[in-house]
Structure 1
């Protein structure tokens, strides 16, 4: 599988003018996801560590394009720069109505087709057939609010407040994420609530 190097992934944050707060979130997800992947490998689960590393790093590369209100509000305090807002507008014009995972697929499918597909599937909330690499990235993203590790309950409370819906989407989505959590932690010696501590002590 052709993959960018870790350094090349970091350079993409500059290429696409990714705001600092989004980059910090991606770096936190990357740190935790790689830690989990290594622990799962140690327990005998077959995982492509490079895919987890690159995929977790790039999972929100195009997040700014999916943000409806890019100006400071109760959910994000940072003011985006004119350069960042210009990139957002460029991406939204090129990919109208697309979410970050869909844009990642379109932008990266030529140089890195398999990684692009991982990003597309990992970030699709309707996908229920993730492989191990996609499950790890998706799960850690669900546990990471900005650059803090929180419980699934806390994360979904945030989702329900920020992305209000008239259907039971969030209440249907949470049980799936709990299943993913069980799938991962049945192979590990620590509990979900100890994830951040375990990673910090590694």
Structure 2
């Protein structure tokens, strides 16, 4: 996720926009630190990496401390005292945030973290439509009934597409161009590695 968001942040900076690339990178790396709060059950077999006893204890502690709180709000609470701007940027990546003026991503950093989370599935950049369908299926339980889930997606998804348009109009690229491979081969990247 950070790969995409940082790439977009760098392109926006090239176009003269004020963007804190380091904040975008850090927020992407930490955006799901409390994701365990959203799991119905904590099933360690679902993780690709090895889960240590220390991991299990920490995740159980987070779930107990933030019971009933979404992972975005839990992450905010964990980080806000020492890193208030980082905490707020992470808090605004909630899918439903687009519907509320107070929680809607408004800075470039917030928008890029939110958008990248909507475009990256595991570690692969995928088309927005594909990622949204996957997210709707995986997170339907968070919205209550299936009917409510459909109402929510009918309101939120068009706003996400509008955000995508805002970002890509500004950087002068098409969303379908920007893939993992495209970013790896992007001319600016080759100069940076020299």
Global fold match (TM > 0.5): yes
Does the C-alpha gap of structure 1 residues 112 and 156 become closer, same or farther in structure 2, counting only changes over 3 Å? same
Report the CA distance between 1:92 and its aligned residue. 1.2
For structure 2, list consecutive stretches of 5 or more residues without a partner in the other structure: 98-102, 141-145, 187-194
Aligned residues: 172
- 1:34 paired with 2:6, answer yes
Which of 59, 63, 69 is 1:98 aligned to? 69
Which of 103, 119, 138 is 1:162 aligned to? 138
SS in 2 for 1:193: coil
Deviates more, 1:100-109 or 1:61-70: 61-70
Does the C-alpha gap of structure 1 residues 186 and 124 become closer, same or farther in structure 2, counting only changes over 3 Å? same
Provide the TM-score with structure 2 as the length reference: 0.80
In terms of fraction of residues, the more helix-rich structure is 2
Q: 1: distance between equivalents of 2:51 and 2:156?
A: 30
SS in 2 for 1:111: coil
SS in 1 for 2:96: coil
Q: 2: distance between equivalents of 1:42 and 1:101?
A: 30
Question: Is the CA contact (8 Å cut-off) linking 2:92 and 2:114 kept in structure 1?
Answer: no
Q: 2: distance between equivalents of 1:72 and 1:174?
A: 31
SS in 1 for 2:171: coil
Deviates more, 1:190-199 or 1:180-189: 190-199
How well do the aligned residues superpose, as a CA RMSD in angstroms? 2.0
Report the CA distance between 1:181 and its aligned residue. 0.2
For structure 1, list consecutive stretches of 5 or more residues without a partner in the other structure: 1-28
Counterparts of 1:31-180 in structure 2, within 5 Å, are: 31-71=3-43, 76=46, 78=48, 80-123=51-94, 125-126=96-97, 127-164=103-140, 165-167=146-148, 168-180=151-163
